[in-house]
Amino acid sequence: MKKTVLIFVLFFGLSNAKAQNKTITTSGDILQIAIPAVAFGSTFIWNEDNTKPTWQFIKAYGSGLILEQALKHIVLKPRPDGSDNYSFPSGHTTSAFSGAAFIQRRYGWKYGIPSYVLASYVGYTRIQAKKHDGWDVLGGAVIGIGTSYLFTKPYSKKKVDVSLNRMDGGYTIGFNYTY
C-alpha cells in the first residue's frame, strides 16, 4: 500500500507543476557538473595505486566533451524546442555519464550503480526540458561511458599474501604479490 501511494505521489507530483519542471531541469543542470566533479575529486583522495587516476579522468572527460562538441557541429540536429541545431548528442548526459562511468570503472559497481542512476536522471531532465530526445540522451551516454572505459583503469589495492607451510623437518614461507 505504501509503495502504491509513493508511486502515485511521485507520478502526479512531478508531472503537473511548472515550478517543479524548472526544479527538475535545474537539478539536472547541477548534477551534470556534480557527478564528474565528485569523480575528479576522488582521484586526489584515492591516488595510491600509481596509475595516475587524475590524468585518466582528464583524458576520459576531455575526449568525451571534444567528441560531443564535434558531433553537435557535424550533425546539426534541431532541438525539440526549436532553439538551435545542436541537439545531438546531449552534452549534459555526456558529462554525467562520463563521471558515472569513471566512478564505476575505478571503484566498482557499489559506487557505480548510484552514479549511473543519477546520470540517468540527468538524461531524463534533458528530455523533460524538451532540449533533447531519447536518441540525443543515448548518444551522450554512449560517448561518456565509452571514453571513460577507454581511458580508465580499475582501481585495485595491491595485496601481499604470506603463507607458511610445514615441510620435512622445516618450514617454508611464501609471498604472493598481487597487482
State pLDDT tens for residues 65-110. Answer: 999 999 999 999 999 988 899 999 999 999 999 999 999 999 889 9
Locate all alpha helices (DSSP H) within the chain, ordered by sequence: 2-15, 18-45, 53-75, 91-107, 109-128, 134-151
Kindly report the pTM of this predicted structure: 0.75
Instruction: Report the run of H or E that residue 164 belongs to, with start and end.
Output: strand 159-167
Residue 167 forms beta bridges with which residues?
170
Residue 42: pLDDT over 70: yes
36 cis-preceded (ω within 30 degrees of 0) = no
Task: Give the number of C-alpha atoms closer than 13 A to the C-alpha of residue 13, restricted to the C-beta side.
Answer: 7
Which three three-digit cell numbers place residue 133?
Answer: 530526445
State pLDDT tens for residues 45-70. Answer: 876 666 788 999 999 999 999 999 99
Among candidates 105, 98, 104, 88, which has minimal Cα distance to 122?
98
Report the Cα–Cα distance between both ends of the chain, in Å, rounded: 50
